[in-house]
Amino acid sequence: MAWSLVCRAAIPGPSLGLTVHEMPVLGKEDEGLVLVKFLASPINRVDLMVLADQYPIKPRYAVDGEPVPGFDGCGVIVESNHPELEPGDIVIPRELGLGTWRTHAVLPAKSLLKLPRDTPPLAASLLRSSALVAWLLLEEVSPLREGDWVIASAGTSCVAQFLVQLACRKSVHVILVIRDRECMPEMTATLLGLGAAKVLTESELELRGGEAIQDNIVLAIDSVFGSVGQSLIETLVPGGKYVLLGMLGGRLGASPSTRNIYLIAVFHFCPLEALRF
């Protein structure tokens, strides 16, 4: 038997239900398809946006008519009708919306990316939408040099934590902005231990704006939007770049003002669906 976590319509909002069903079968005529057993399937904040119907990409697969959520995960090939994938290969989604919150799935081989077989499942499940996104932000979105400064909201996210560690390898300094919380000392110590140059709360940043930071920030990465995004913009030096990676604060929040857009080289929106490998 197989298990799937499905999204069910409910009032006041959708709910999750665990469904037990027959194991998916890979037929000989199913050319180009593979049977995958999922080993790890994380819950990302973007998954919560999908469940709340706040994200444009929807689950593409369903069980008994009920959609299966889950963007990221790591699986092992059980059976294969594709020459490039063999039983025992470790794979992760190449595309979004494959529905990783289940034990087994029949998927197109072209929708999967093969990794070395000794890759730990948990690490693999965080690779695409966390580590690779962080790498792209540092290497492709804006050319960064040794000594440059970067500021990022949602500082406790996986992307931010990977970003800090990768930036240290380039001698780039990262300031992380996090929500106000009771466990601030512990969280600050954790992020500084990963290599963050500074850790600020959203209230500290919004109250003091650019005055809270004395460094030349050339790149601002925003995953929250609204007033937090505005505060990030105000920290940039002339010619800096503001990247909108996500809107965890919601679409209904106030949009960042463009009154000082003449100072900014580029406003850049970096959606997950654009990141294909």
Show the DSSP H helices in 35-156 as ranges. Answer: 45-51, 121-125, 132-136
Q: Catalytic one among 55, 61, 242, 262?
A: 55
Q: Give the pairing type, strands 173-178 and 74-80.
A: unpaired
Q: Tell me how far apart the alpha carbons of residues 206 and 234 are, in angstroms, rounded to a whole number.
A: 10
Bridge partners, residue 180, by sequence: none
Burial of 136 (0-12, 13-18, 19+ CB in 10 A): middle
User: Rounded to the nearest 10 degrees, what angle do helices 158-169 and 184-194 cross at?
Assistant: 40
Residue by residue, DSSP assigns 39-88 as EE----HHHHHHHTT-SS-----EETTEE---S--EEEEEEESSTT--TT
Under 8 Å between Cβ of 113 and 74: no
76 forms beta bridges with: 37, 90
CA distance from start to end of the chain: 32
The encoded tokens of residue 65 equal: 């008519």
HEC assignment per residue over 91-115: EEECCCCCCCCECEEEEEHHHEEEE
* Whether the Cβ atoms of residue 243 and residue 142 lie closer than 8 Å to each other: yes
Residue 262: active-site member: no
Q: How far apart are CA 76 and CA 53, in angstroms?
A: 30
Specify which residues 222 forms β-bridges with. 244
Catalytic residue positions? 55
